[in-house]
Amino acid sequence: MGTNHGPSWTRRHTIPSDTRVGSDLVEELIQEMSQREWPATDLFRVQLAYEEAIVNAVRHGNRNARDKTVEVEMTCCSERVMIRIRDQGEGFDPEKVPDPRQESLLDVPGGRGVLLISEVMSEVYYNDIGNEVTMIKIKGDNPLEDESQA
């Protein structure tokens, strides 16, 4: 039997538009997930989605503006992780992001983060403006593996 490390853990941070600062925050989340015996595959996927979302918020949302910030909220329990990242940018429409798997876009750098996040997380939601993403991971939910075994 695993050790129960409390019903849930939550952290909220407001950080500068600096991907290095944003990247440091995920370490604490991964540690909390590990203590709750999350599988290594889930740890990897959550960290990957988090990193992509932070980079998108700083580079695309805030356009690296040093006077803007990014709000990060992370919650972890034994079966579910929620990450919410909000930038101060004008937002975007995720439905209008072209699929980077199209033949004409295979050699174009960038444009893969939104797709990647949707592939590795259980649920992904954007606010109406498009400057906030909420990502949810359910323990053991790995759609990519499920598809390859079908």
Q: Which domain holds residue 139?
A: 9-149
pLDDT at res. 102: 73
1 domain-assigned? no
Q: What is the pLDDT of residues 112-149, one digit of tens each?
A: 788 899 999 999 999 999 999 999 999 999 866 655 55
3 domain-assigned? no
Q: What is the pLDDT of residues 48-77, one digit of tens each?
A: 999 999 999 999 999 999 999 999 999 999
Q: What is the model's pTM? A: 0.88
**How far is C-alpha 78 from the chain's CA centre?**
18
- Please check whether residue 88 is in contact with residue 20, taking contact to mean a CB–CB distance below 8 angstroms: no
4 domain-assigned? no
> What DSSP element (H or E) covers 35?
helix 19-35
45 domain-assigned? yes
Mean pLDDT for the stretch of residues 83-95: 95
What DSSP character marks residue 87? -
Mean pLDDT for the stretch of residues 5-11: 83
Domain count, the chain: 1
105-119 in b/e form (b: 16+ CB < 10 A) is eeeeeeebbbbbbee
37 domain-assigned? yes
User: What is the C-alpha separation between 105 and 7, in angstroms, rounded?
Assistant: 44
User: What is the C-alpha separation between 70 and 86, in angstroms, rounded?
Assistant: 6
137 domain-assigned? yes
- Please check whether residue 75 is in contact with residue 81, taking contact to mean a CB–CB distance below 8 angstroms: yes
Mean pLDDT for the stretch of residues 31-42: 97
Residue bearing tokens 């004008």: 90
105 domain-assigned? yes
pLDDT at res. 137: 98
pLDDT at res. 95: 86
Helices and strands in the chain: count of H runs, count of E runs: 4, 5
Domain holding 28: CATH number?
A: 3.30.565.10
Q: How far is CA 132 from CA 42, 126, 146, in A?
A: 22, 6, 28
Regarding predicted confidence, which is higher, 145 or 43?
A: 43
55 domain-assigned? yes
